[in-house]
């Protein structure tokens, strides 16, 4: 029986040919990766789950969009200063976050918040106006915004873990990775004299109040 099996395998390999076998082996990994029907978001089981996932994607996309506009405003003012490369580095990470959420939103046919035009202007103005206060002002803004986004991501992580961590494994990976990046930006702001800005706590609290309002509205509109 073993000889027969060996003979059959030998005959099959000659019929198919070495070149085709090599090509099949090359294709094996992509085929295995594409066997799952989704990349990050599982197909919703019902309207309630779809609404929850749509809210998560919509508000996270809005947050990353707003962060991008804030860094754009900071770079418009401080781009040629010594702080320029540092701000650009953080902005580049935010661009990757936004690109990923754009991809997930399109894949799952989720519309963005209707307030993107407002966040476009408000984010840029916030970044530029705080940057006009100098490096410390820009870093204070970064600390406030990134702390708010990190806390928001943490609340989402807790909620998804309570519902079904295995079902939302890929989404949790994305959120946790982005949360870690935001915390790194937060720490960078503190390391670069954010707290040295006169009125730091007043500015931070005001910005975070605005962030909470933006999060609340972006989930619903």
What does the alpha-carbon distance between residue 101 and residue 35 come to, in Å, rounded to a whole number? 22
Judged by DSSP in three states, 216 sits in: helix
Closest CA to 141 of 75, 80, 82: 75
CB of 140 closer than 8 Å to CB of 189 = yes
What CA–CA distance (Å, rounded) separates 153 from 135? 27
Q: Is 186 annotated as a binding residue?
A: no
Label residue 6 exposed, middle or buried (CB < 10 Å: 0-12, 13-18, 19+): exposed
Element spanning 150, H or E: helix 135-163
Is 97 annotated in a binding site? The answer is: yes
146 known member of a binding site: yes
User: Has 151 been labeled as part of a binding site?
Assistant: no
Measured CA angle at 214 (ends 212, 217), to 5 deg? 110
Annotated binding site for Fe cation: 64, 94, 97, 146, 182, 185
Annotated binding site: 64, 94, 97, 146, 182, 185
């Amino acid at each position: 029986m073993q000889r027969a099996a060996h003979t059959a395998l030998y005959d099959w390999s000659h019929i198919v040919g070495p070149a085709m076998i090599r090509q099949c082996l090359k294709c094996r990994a992509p085929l295995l990766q594409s066997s799952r029907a989704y990349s990050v978001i599982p197909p919703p089981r019902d309207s309630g789950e779809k609404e929850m996932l749509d809210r998560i994607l919509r508000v996270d996309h809005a947050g990353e969009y707003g962060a991008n506009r804030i860094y754009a405003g900071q770079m418009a003012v401080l781009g040629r200063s010594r702080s320029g490369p540092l701000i650009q580095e953080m902005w580049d990470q935010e661009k990757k976050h936004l690109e990923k959420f754009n991809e997930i939103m399109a894949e799952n046919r989720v519309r963005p918040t209707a307030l993107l035009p407002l966040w476009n202007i408000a984010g840029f103005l916030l970044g530029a106006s705080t940057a006009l206060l100098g490096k410390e002002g820009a870093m204070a803004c970064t600390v406030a915004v990134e702390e708010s986004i990190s806390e928001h991501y943490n609340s989402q992580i807790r909620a998804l873990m309570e519902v079904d961590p295995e079902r939302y494994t890929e989404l949790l990976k994305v959120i946790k990775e982005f949360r870690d990046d935001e915390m790194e930006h937060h720490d960078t702001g503190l390391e670069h004299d954010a707290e040295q800005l006169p009125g730091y706590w007043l500015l931070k609290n005001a910005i975070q109040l605005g962030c909470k309002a933006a999060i609340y509205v972006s989930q619903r509109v």
